[in-house]
Amino acid sequence: MAVRPICEPVELPPGKTLIAERVIVGPDAQDLGRFMHFHDVAELVLFRRVSGMFIANGRRHSLRDGAIIFVPSMHHHDFELVPGAMEWVLVQIDPYVVESLNLQRSRLSRPFCALPDERARARIDILADWLLDAAQDESGSIERIVELLIISAADAERRDDAEPDGGIDNVERLLPALELLRASPADPISLNAAATSCSLSPAYFSRRFRQIFGMTFSDYARTYRLRLAARRLVSTRSPISEIGYGVGFSSPAHFALRFRERFGMTPREYRNSARSREGTG
Protein backbone atom coordinates (compact mmCIF):
# COMPACT_ATOMS: atom_id res chain seq x y z
CA MET A 1 0.00 0.00 0.00
CA ALA A 2 1.35 3.44 -0.89
CA VAL A 3 2.42 5.63 1.99
CA ARG A 4 1.26 9.23 1.89
CA PRO A 5 3.99 11.86 2.01
CA ILE A 6 4.18 13.45 5.43
CA CYS A 7 6.18 16.58 4.68
CA GLU A 8 4.02 19.58 5.61
CA PRO A 9 5.99 22.71 4.76
CA VAL A 10 5.32 25.71 6.99
CA GLU A 11 6.53 29.06 5.71
CA LEU A 12 7.02 31.65 8.45
CA PRO A 13 6.48 35.19 7.10
CA PRO A 14 9.69 37.14 6.45
CA GLY A 15 11.11 38.46 9.70
CA LYS A 16 8.69 36.47 11.86
CA THR A 17 9.57 33.71 14.30
CA LEU A 18 6.13 32.20 14.77
CA ILE A 19 2.56 31.88 13.53
CA ALA A 20 -0.38 31.81 15.97
CA GLU A 21 -3.98 31.23 14.99
CA ARG A 22 -7.26 30.02 16.44
CA VAL A 23 -8.80 27.01 14.69
CA ILE A 24 -12.53 26.30 15.01
CA VAL A 25 -14.22 23.24 13.52
CA GLY A 26 -18.01 23.17 13.29
CA PRO A 27 -20.16 20.27 14.55
CA ASP A 28 -21.01 19.13 11.01
CA ALA A 29 -17.47 19.08 9.65
CA GLN A 30 -16.30 15.92 7.89
CA ASP A 31 -13.98 13.45 9.57
CA LEU A 32 -10.49 14.94 9.31
CA GLY A 33 -8.85 11.49 9.25
CA ARG A 34 -5.25 10.73 10.17
CA PHE A 35 -2.49 12.77 8.59
CA MET A 36 1.04 11.61 9.36
CA HIS A 37 3.30 14.63 8.96
CA PHE A 38 6.23 16.67 10.23
CA HIS A 39 7.62 20.12 9.66
CA ASP A 40 10.70 22.23 10.33
CA VAL A 41 8.90 24.43 12.85
CA ALA A 42 8.15 23.37 16.41
CA GLU A 43 4.44 23.14 17.19
CA LEU A 44 2.37 23.90 20.27
CA VAL A 45 -1.35 23.08 20.21
CA LEU A 46 -3.63 24.30 23.00
CA PHE A 47 -6.90 22.37 22.73
CA ARG A 48 -10.04 23.93 24.19
CA ARG A 49 -12.53 21.45 22.76
CA VAL A 50 -11.37 18.14 21.36
CA SER A 51 -11.76 14.39 21.50
CA GLY A 52 -9.43 11.93 19.86
CA MET A 53 -5.83 10.78 19.83
CA PHE A 54 -2.39 12.32 19.38
CA ILE A 55 0.20 9.92 17.91
CA ALA A 56 3.96 10.55 18.13
CA ASN A 57 7.09 8.43 18.47
CA GLY A 58 5.02 5.27 18.04
CA ARG A 59 2.74 6.10 21.01
CA ARG A 60 -0.93 7.09 21.18
CA HIS A 61 -2.08 9.72 23.69
CA SER A 62 -5.77 10.39 24.34
CA LEU A 63 -6.93 13.98 23.85
CA ARG A 64 -9.70 15.76 25.72
CA ASP A 65 -10.70 19.33 26.49
CA GLY A 66 -7.76 21.31 27.88
CA ALA A 67 -5.04 19.02 26.51
CA ILE A 68 -1.77 20.51 25.28
CA ILE A 69 0.66 18.91 22.85
CA PHE A 70 4.16 20.00 21.98
CA VAL A 71 6.12 18.67 18.99
CA PRO A 72 9.76 19.68 18.38
CA SER A 73 11.03 20.40 14.91
CA MET A 74 11.38 17.38 12.60
CA HIS A 75 9.36 14.90 14.71
CA HIS A 76 6.54 13.18 12.85
CA HIS A 77 3.13 13.12 14.48
CA ASP A 78 -0.51 12.38 13.73
CA PHE A 79 -3.90 13.45 14.97
CA GLU A 80 -6.91 11.15 14.97
CA LEU A 81 -9.78 13.42 15.98
CA VAL A 82 -13.37 12.42 16.66
CA PRO A 83 -15.77 14.34 14.34
CA GLY A 84 -17.67 17.16 16.01
CA ALA A 85 -17.21 20.70 17.25
CA MET A 86 -13.57 21.45 18.09
CA GLU A 87 -11.44 24.45 18.94
CA TRP A 88 -7.73 24.96 19.49
CA VAL A 89 -4.94 27.52 19.30
CA LEU A 90 -2.13 26.50 16.96
CA VAL A 91 1.33 28.00 17.44
CA GLN A 92 4.11 27.14 14.98
CA ILE A 93 7.51 28.36 16.11
CA ASP A 94 10.97 28.76 14.62
CA PRO A 95 12.98 25.92 16.22
CA TYR A 96 15.79 28.33 17.10
CA VAL A 97 13.39 30.14 19.43
CA VAL A 98 12.72 26.86 21.24
CA GLU A 99 16.41 26.00 21.41
CA SER A 100 17.16 29.37 22.99
CA LEU A 101 14.88 28.77 25.98
CA ASN A 102 16.59 28.28 29.31
CA LEU A 103 15.19 24.78 29.81
CA GLN A 104 16.85 21.42 30.07
CA ARG A 105 17.26 20.38 26.45
CA SER A 106 15.73 16.95 27.13
CA ARG A 107 12.43 18.50 28.23
CA LEU A 108 11.74 19.82 24.75
CA SER A 109 13.54 17.20 22.68
CA ARG A 110 10.58 14.81 22.29
CA PRO A 111 6.87 15.29 21.63
CA PHE A 112 4.64 15.23 24.68
CA CYS A 113 0.99 15.50 25.63
CA ALA A 114 -0.02 17.20 28.89
CA LEU A 115 -3.23 17.96 30.77
CA PRO A 116 -2.74 20.94 33.10
CA ASP A 117 -4.86 21.28 36.21
CA GLU A 118 -7.68 23.83 36.26
CA ARG A 119 -5.62 26.71 37.68
CA ALA A 120 -2.72 26.14 35.28
CA ARG A 121 -5.10 25.87 32.35
CA ALA A 122 -6.73 29.20 33.24
CA ARG A 123 -3.31 30.90 33.14
CA ILE A 124 -2.46 29.20 29.86
CA ASP A 125 -5.76 30.34 28.31
CA ILE A 126 -4.95 33.94 29.24
CA LEU A 127 -1.48 33.62 27.71
CA ALA A 128 -2.98 32.10 24.55
CA ASP A 129 -5.39 35.03 24.17
CA TRP A 130 -2.52 37.49 24.67
CA LEU A 131 -0.47 35.66 22.08
CA LEU A 132 -3.26 35.82 19.50
CA ASP A 133 -3.65 39.56 20.11
CA ALA A 134 0.12 40.11 19.95
CA ALA A 135 0.38 38.12 16.71
CA GLN A 136 -2.37 40.20 15.11
CA ASP A 137 -0.79 43.48 16.21
CA GLU A 138 2.76 42.23 15.51
CA SER A 139 3.69 43.11 19.09
CA GLY A 140 7.31 42.95 20.19
CA SER A 141 6.26 40.89 23.23
CA ILE A 142 5.21 37.91 21.16
CA GLU A 143 8.31 35.79 21.74
CA ARG A 144 8.16 36.35 25.50
CA ILE A 145 4.55 35.22 25.58
CA VAL A 146 5.25 32.07 23.60
CA GLU A 147 8.21 31.35 25.88
CA LEU A 148 5.87 31.47 28.89
CA LEU A 149 3.42 29.19 27.10
CA ILE A 150 6.09 26.60 26.30
CA ILE A 151 7.42 26.66 29.85
CA SER A 152 3.88 26.29 31.22
CA ALA A 153 3.24 23.34 28.93
CA ALA A 154 6.56 21.71 29.87
CA ASP A 155 5.77 22.14 33.57
CA ALA A 156 2.27 20.69 33.22
CA GLU A 157 1.54 17.15 34.34
CA ARG A 158 2.65 14.66 31.70
CA ARG A 159 0.14 12.12 30.45
CA ASP A 160 1.01 8.52 31.28
CA ASP A 161 -1.79 6.75 29.41
CA ALA A 162 0.08 6.39 26.11
CA GLU A 163 -0.35 3.14 24.19
CA PRO A 164 1.80 1.68 21.38
CA ASP A 165 0.74 2.67 17.87
CA GLY A 166 1.26 0.20 15.04
CA GLY A 167 1.61 2.78 12.27
CA ILE A 168 4.46 3.42 9.87
CA ASP A 169 8.03 3.44 11.19
CA ASN A 170 8.83 6.93 12.39
CA VAL A 171 11.39 9.27 11.01
CA GLU A 172 13.98 8.78 13.73
CA ARG A 173 15.95 6.11 11.86
CA LEU A 174 16.69 8.69 9.18
CA LEU A 175 17.62 11.50 11.55
CA PRO A 176 21.42 10.93 11.30
CA ALA A 177 21.28 12.01 7.65
CA LEU A 178 19.31 15.12 8.59
CA GLU A 179 21.82 15.88 11.34
CA LEU A 180 24.64 15.71 8.77
CA LEU A 181 22.83 18.32 6.73
CA ARG A 182 22.11 20.51 9.73
CA ALA A 183 25.71 20.35 10.98
CA SER A 184 27.28 21.26 7.61
CA PRO A 185 24.73 22.87 5.30
CA ALA A 186 27.44 24.22 2.98
CA ASP A 187 28.94 20.81 2.30
CA PRO A 188 27.58 18.47 -0.39
CA ILE A 189 26.24 15.22 1.06
CA SER A 190 26.08 12.27 -1.31
CA LEU A 191 23.33 9.69 -1.17
CA ASN A 192 25.93 7.11 -0.12
CA ALA A 193 27.12 9.28 2.76
CA ALA A 194 23.57 9.95 3.93
CA ALA A 195 22.69 6.25 3.79
CA THR A 196 25.89 5.24 5.59
CA SER A 197 25.17 7.66 8.42
CA CYS A 198 21.90 5.77 8.99
CA SER A 199 23.53 2.31 8.62
CA LEU A 200 21.33 1.62 5.60
CA SER A 201 22.02 0.68 2.00
CA PRO A 202 21.65 3.57 -0.48
CA ALA A 203 18.73 1.85 -2.24
CA TYR A 204 16.80 1.19 0.98
CA PHE A 205 17.60 4.63 2.40
CA SER A 206 16.43 6.31 -0.80
CA ARG A 207 13.18 4.34 -0.87
CA ARG A 208 12.36 4.92 2.80
CA PHE A 209 13.28 8.60 2.61
CA ARG A 210 10.89 9.19 -0.28
CA GLN A 211 8.12 7.24 1.47
CA ILE A 212 8.44 9.14 4.73
CA PHE A 213 9.38 12.62 3.54
CA GLY A 214 7.54 12.68 0.23
CA MET A 215 10.65 13.80 -1.67
CA THR A 216 14.16 12.61 -2.48
CA PHE A 217 17.03 13.31 -0.12
CA SER A 218 18.57 15.76 -2.60
CA ASP A 219 15.26 17.65 -2.91
CA TYR A 220 14.95 17.75 0.86
CA ALA A 221 18.52 19.03 1.22
CA ARG A 222 17.86 21.85 -1.26
CA THR A 223 14.63 22.81 0.51
CA TYR A 224 16.37 22.81 3.90
CA ARG A 225 19.22 24.98 2.61
CA LEU A 226 16.81 27.49 1.12
CA ARG A 227 14.83 27.72 4.36
CA LEU A 228 18.06 28.21 6.29
CA ALA A 229 19.12 30.91 3.84
CA ALA A 230 15.77 32.67 4.31
CA ARG A 231 16.32 32.66 8.07
CA ARG A 232 19.82 34.11 7.67
CA LEU A 233 18.59 36.79 5.28
CA VAL A 234 16.26 38.22 7.93
CA SER A 235 18.33 37.54 11.05
CA THR A 236 21.79 38.71 9.88
CA ARG A 237 23.34 41.47 7.80
CA SER A 238 25.66 39.10 5.96
CA PRO A 239 26.06 39.76 2.22
CA ILE A 240 23.56 37.80 0.15
CA SER A 241 26.31 36.10 -1.83
CA GLU A 242 27.96 34.95 1.41
CA ILE A 243 24.68 33.49 2.62
CA GLY A 244 24.25 31.60 -0.65
CA TYR A 245 27.72 30.10 -0.45
CA GLY A 246 27.17 29.34 3.23
CA VAL A 247 24.25 27.04 2.46
CA GLY A 248 25.96 25.21 -0.38
CA PHE A 249 25.04 27.03 -3.59
CA SER A 250 27.82 27.23 -6.15
CA SER A 251 27.14 30.80 -7.32
CA PRO A 252 24.97 33.82 -6.43
CA ALA A 253 23.04 33.35 -9.69
CA HIS A 254 22.19 29.74 -8.88
CA PHE A 255 21.19 30.72 -5.34
CA ALA A 256 18.94 33.53 -6.61
CA LEU A 257 17.30 31.23 -9.17
CA ARG A 258 16.50 28.48 -6.64
CA PHE A 259 15.42 31.01 -4.01
CA ARG A 260 12.95 32.63 -6.39
CA GLU A 261 11.56 29.22 -7.33
CA ARG A 262 10.99 28.46 -3.66
CA PHE A 263 9.81 31.80 -2.23
CA GLY A 264 8.52 33.69 -5.27
CA MET A 265 10.99 36.56 -4.83
CA THR A 266 14.72 37.14 -4.99
CA PRO A 267 16.85 36.94 -1.83
CA ARG A 268 17.19 40.74 -1.85
CA GLU A 269 13.42 41.23 -2.20
CA TYR A 270 12.87 38.75 0.64
CA ARG A 271 15.28 40.61 2.93
CA ASN A 272 13.78 44.00 2.04
CA SER A 273 10.28 42.65 2.68
CA ALA A 274 11.30 41.53 6.16
CA ARG A 275 12.93 44.87 6.97
CA SER A 276 9.89 46.75 5.72
CA ARG A 277 7.63 44.68 8.01
CA GLU A 278 9.91 45.45 10.95
CA GLY A 279 9.94 49.16 10.12
CA THR A 280 13.69 49.18 9.60
CA GLY A 281 13.83 49.16 5.84
Give the Cα separation of 157 and 76 in Å (integer). 22
Are the beta carbons of 65 and 45 closer than 8 angstroms? no
Give the Cα separation of 119 and 33 in Å (integer). 32
What's 171-278's CATH class?
mainly alpha
Which range among 101-105, 226-230, 250-254 shows the weakest confidence by mean pLDDT?
A: 101-105
Return the CATH fold of 18-164: Jelly Rolls (2.60.120)
Q: What percentage of the chain has pLDDT greater than the value 90?
A: 31
Average pLDDT of span 246-270: 92
**Those residues with Cβ within 8 angstroms of residue 131's Cβ, 6 or more apart along the chain or in another chain:** 20, 89, 91, 142, 145, 146, 149
Beta strand 59-63 pairing with 52-56: antiparallel
Are the beta carbons of 163 and 60 closer than 8 angstroms? yes
Return the domain boundaries, the chain: 18-164, 171-278
- The letter for the amino acid at 167 is G
- The letter for the amino acid at 230 is A
**Those residues with Cβ within 8 angstroms of residue 242's Cβ, 6 or more apart along the chain or in another chain:** none
Are the beta carbons of 213 and 198 closer than 8 angstroms? no
Give the Cα separation of 281 and 202 in Å (integer). 47
Show the beta-strand stretches assigned E in the chain: 18-25, 42-49, 52-56, 59-63, 68-71, 77-81, 86-93, 112-114, 163-164
Confidence of residue 4 (pLDDT cuts 50, 70, 90): very low
Please give the pLDDT value at position 204. 94
- Residue 69, strand partner residues: 45, 113
DSSP state of 249: -
Confidence of residue 28 (pLDDT cuts 50, 70, 90): confident
Give the Cα separation of 197 and 180 in Å (integer). 8
CATH fold match for the domains 18-164 and 171-278: no
Per-residue pLDDT tens digits for 88-120: 999 999 887 887 776 655 678 788 898 898 999
DSSP state of 76: -
